[in-house]
Amino acid sequence: MSSLLKISVSAIFLFFSLTASAGDLYRPSAGAGEAGTGYVCIMKKGFWSSFQNQASLADNGSLSFGFNYENRFGISELGTRTAGITIPAGKSSIGAVYSHFGYAGFKRDMTGLACGLRLSDKINAGVQVDYFMEKTPGEDYNNQSVTFETGLILMPAENTRIGIHIFNPVPNSIRKSYLPSTLRIGVGTDLNKLLFAGVEAEMSSGSNLTIRTGFEYEAAKNFWLRGGFSTENSSFSFGLGYIVKTVRIDLGFRTHEQLGVTSSVSLIFNIP
Amino acid sequence: MLKYILILFFLSLSFRSSGQESKLSEAVVSIAEELAADDSDPEAASTYIERLYELSEDKVKLNSSGEEELSRLFFLSDFQVKALADYVHSSGRINSVFELANIPGFDKETAGMMIPFITLDNKTTMNSDSAHWRNTSVTNLTCKPGNDDSSSSGSPWKILTKYKFTSGSFSGGMTAEKDPGEKFISGNTALPDFFSASLEYNGSGIVRRIIVGDYSARFGQGTNINTGIRSALSLTSPGYMSASNEVKPYTSADENNFFRGAAAEFSIKNLSVSLFYSKNRVDATLGSSSGSSNNYIENFYTTGLHNTRALEMKKDVVSELAYGTNLSYNFNNLRIGMTWSENRFSLPVNRSENNAEKLFDFEGDRNSLFSLYYNSLIKRILFFGEYSAGRNNKHAIVQGVSLRPSDRLTINFLIRNYDAGYSSFHGKGPGNSSSGNEHGILGNFSFEAAKHLFLSAGCDISSFPWLKYSCNSPSWGRKQEVRLKYLPVPELTIDAAFNYRLSIADDPEANGIPGQKRLITKSLKGSVKYSINDDLILGTRIDYKYAEPSGSRGMLMQQEVNYHFRQIPLTLWIRYCLFSTDDWDSRIYSYENDLLYSFSIPSLSGAGSRSYIMAKWEVNDIAEMRIKYGITTIIRGANLSENNDEIKVQFRIMF
């Protein structure tokens, strides 16, 4: 492959991964349920949400594991495969997540080990250590980096949750890294027993502010409908979820102004 | 050798003295932010913060019921001061700060704002307990490691040290400062680059106050004399800030705007008389006529920075003599007063003949001003105004009215008119300018729209009949702001504001005679503060700014955590902030917690992050130490960034 072609392919993949990701391109697009609400999830309880804000891990009361597949714009080379597991341990829970994006020529892998802890009735805190590896066409070596992310869940009222999450907050002057820093803040509330709504703001270093809003509605027992909107690329989202015994199945779809639809599916197994 | 002895002396003051912990709440910074938000001069925030710190150390005695004492809460309106005094008078005393929110004209927000600065103890300063010596010392050391400029004559450290003592009716203090790059000892005298000291006597008889040394003063609306805070309305302030007359020891580190000499205040029944005399040296750029050895002043140099040989040459080159008097008389609901002041310089000021912008600037070596002012409260309407005239027959007029139709609504109007050529060297009246050439009108209201929900809005329109900096033709400007504040529970404050600014400037891209262009900025700001418990406070802020005609956008998102450890005497402030602006036009200012008597308002432009961590360690009952480390990272390209960091250390002791 000529140098020019390698550079072009790299640029296209970087562009796609940047424009179609839920904000920070290094955060794995995990969870079809979360995709359905437009990734308004850092304050929300849930298996995948726990890897978006590790403070939520403390709310996971059972052993669970799950798989997720996201297909961006129907292009298999832009697929993301993710697997995760959470293990409860008293007032805390631990979790592990692995994500793979791309194909043989261009890939990005992430492995994370997380812990969430209930500090009080109103506060959860969590932290995750991440290892990133990125391979781009034409490069003989892989970009690697280790960093961490941390989050808080605040519960000022019974039906309201505030999520705060910071990814890679270490300034570049202290530790050189190609990873961006990201700050996410969101608030969500159960408007009634069936309807959840939330809003979230996110900003990454070098990027513009993104505002997202989304909802989840329990239309029937164990059946959810979801929707959302993000100011990034004016993206709309929708999805649905269903629980069969101990298995949860979610589907999520996100639109892009020019590039089409990104679809995702996830399976979560709960072991009581 | 002498300078090292002096340095050791100033530093040793900090370590020797001891004191009790002053409860300084987060309110200090939030109030300063609110008050200074509308002032384009960032130094204003410094002045506000300093006044608030002073107030927190010398709390207002609420139950004294004296309006003079209560008006020291300078952020309250005259309405509120009077309502507070009436309440204390009728009820006997205030037993709990929770009563404040129920006083007409007050709400929970205002009451919360006051708490750090008030005491319910009504002992006077003349009691036997306070006859003991009380000493306070603060020393700040600041360094930006990467900014070591080899052309500077001194070290890169900024050093500020303050000392104050009180004993009965007497008090005194001194301030010494050196800026980064300056020599600590400079000039012909063996003193720090900036050194200020004063001795004060406070009496309760005819002689109310005598100050020898450095002092600041403010009379009336400040168009004639005001070396302190600009007394005015901000766009969305709930009322007219109290503008009581004041002569006080100078404790700031602004190196030029103060008096040095003596001042006295006398009071006979309802009549107050103030006299002041000052002989000070000020910085200036000098010029000389061709073929003549006679010097003249080209302009005054006011930054106070003397870190190069060229800037050292500007230091203290002009002698300024200032003197004057103020008389005021209080009727039942009316206060009237007059101020006369005169300035004389050792060299004349010559304006540039080739610069049309300076056509009306002051010229000569003598300036005198005469002012008349009044302040009248009739039921729920407050009228206030001031007229000032200079020797050159140029005038300044300020007229305002503040209405309070109900306890939930306040409406204010203020008109100002400063002639081009009106010059006041120590004045600072309402508005944007203290040097004339400005007409303006401001109107605002503040309304408690529902329980816990406060709405305020304001508009300020100003015109500049003559040329001004970067505007070679008459121009105008407009400022508007709408603010919504919601306090559903005591632990939560939600604030949202929309701000609009319009100004006119030269269009450099036009050919021939410069055209004009409108510079417009629109900004939207939202912030939430949440106290989870007594030890943990979280703050979130999101800003969006849009600038025309460039079309540039700026965004900011920040999270702040303030945590007080129970087991150890340590308090932490941590902020993480990300910003992205297209250019300088869409820059965003972000206020930060800082050391006492210090302030930090970085202007953030480009794309990057700003983080800081500050720790306060209460060593024991008598000493406190603060350390702050801040870092700004600007992304310059792929894998390329520029970092600027700073470290600040403070020792504070009271005994």
ipTM: 0.79
- In a domain, residue B495? The reply is no
Nearest CA in chain B to A166: B576
Size of interface A-B (CB pairs under 8 A): 76
Max avg pLDDT among A248-262, B6-20, B226-240, B633-647: A248-262
Contacts of A42 in chain B (CB under 8 A): none
List the single residue in A with minimal CA-CA distance to B576: A169
CA distance, residue A155 to nearest chain B CA (Å): 9
> A154 vs B558: CB contact, 8 Å cut-off?
no
Tens digit of each residue's pLDDT (9 = 90 or more) over A158-210: 889 999 999 988 766 666 677 888 999 999 999 998 999 999 999 988 888 99
Asked, for residue B11, whether it belongs to a domain, the answer is yes
pLDDT band at B435 (very low <50, low <70, confident <90, very high): low
Is the pLDDT score of B518 beyond 70?
yes
**Can you read off the two tokens belonging to residue B368?**
């005198």
Q: Is residue B203 assigned to a domain?
A: no
Other Cβ atoms closer than 10 A to A14: 13
Average pLDDT over residues B96-108: 77
Question: Is residue B102 situated within a structural domain?
Answer: yes
Residue B19 has pLDDT above 50, yes or no: no
List the single residue in A with minimal CA-CA distance to B541: A185
Outline where B449-592 has alpha helix (H).
Answer: none
Q: What is the mean pLDDT of residues B252-280?
A: 92
DSSP state of B22: P
Judged by CB atoms closer than 8 Å, whether chains meet at A203 and B578 is answered as: yes
CATH of the domain at A66: 2.40.160.60
User: For chain A, which residues score pLDDT lower than 70?
Assistant: 1-25, 28, 140-141, 171-176
User: Over 70: is that where the pLDDT of B147 sits?
Assistant: no
pLDDT of residue B403: 86
Compute the CA torsion angle B42, B48, B51, B53 (nearest 10 deg).
-90
Does the residue B351 lie in any domain?
no
Domain that holds residue A59: 3-271
Evaluate if residue B18 carries a pLDDT over 60. no
CB atoms within 10 A of CB A31: 31
Q: How many residues in total does chain A contain?
A: 272
A→B contacts (Cβ < 8 Å), by residue, are 122-123, 152, 154, 156, 162, 164, 166, 169, 171-173, 178, 181-183, 185, 201-209
Q: How many domains does chain A divide into? A: 1
With beta carbons less than 8 A apart as the criterion, state whether B593 and B573 touch.
Answer: yes
Which of A176, A183, A202 to substitute to test the interface with B, most B CBs within 10 Å?
Answer: A183
Answer yes or no: is pLDDT of B9 > 50: no
Would you say residue B63 lies in a domain? yes
Euclidean distance between CA atoms A193 and A188, whole angstroms? 13
- Is the pLDDT score of B229 beyond 80? no
Instruction: Tell me the pLDDT tens digit for each residue of B583-607.
Output: 988 988 888 878 877 777 788 899 9
pLDDT at B555: 94
- How many structural domains does chain B have? 1
Give residue for tokens 């005469």.
B370
Token couple for B400: 């305002």
The beta-carbon neighbor of B576 closest among A152, A166, A204 is: A166
Q: Is the pLDDT reported for residue B52 higher than 90?
A: no
- Interchain contact, B641 vs A172, CB within 8 Å: yes
Query: Quick one: pLDDT band at residue B273, thresholds 50, 70, 90?
Result: very high
Lowest mean pLDDT among B241-255, B267-281, B528-542: B241-255
Residue B311's CB: how many other CB atoms inside 10 A? 19
Residue B41 lies in domain: 1-123
- Domain assignment present for residue B96? The answer is yes
pLDDT at B535: 86
Average pLDDT, chain B: 83
Q: What does the pLDDT average to over B475-493?
A: 88
* A257-266, B217-226, B531-540, B638-647, range with the lowest pLDDT: B638-647
Asked if B444 and B456 count as a contact pair (C-beta separation under 8 A), the reply is yes
Task: Report yes or no on B37 lying in a domain.
Answer: yes
Interchain contact, A209 vs B643, CB within 8 Å: no
Hunting for tokens 């300024």 — which residue is that? Answer: B320
Residue B112 — pLDDT band, cuts 50, 70, 90? confident
CA of A170: which chain B residue's CA is closest? B611
Residues B333-358: what's their mean pLDDT? Answer: 88
Closest CA in chain A for residue B533: A122
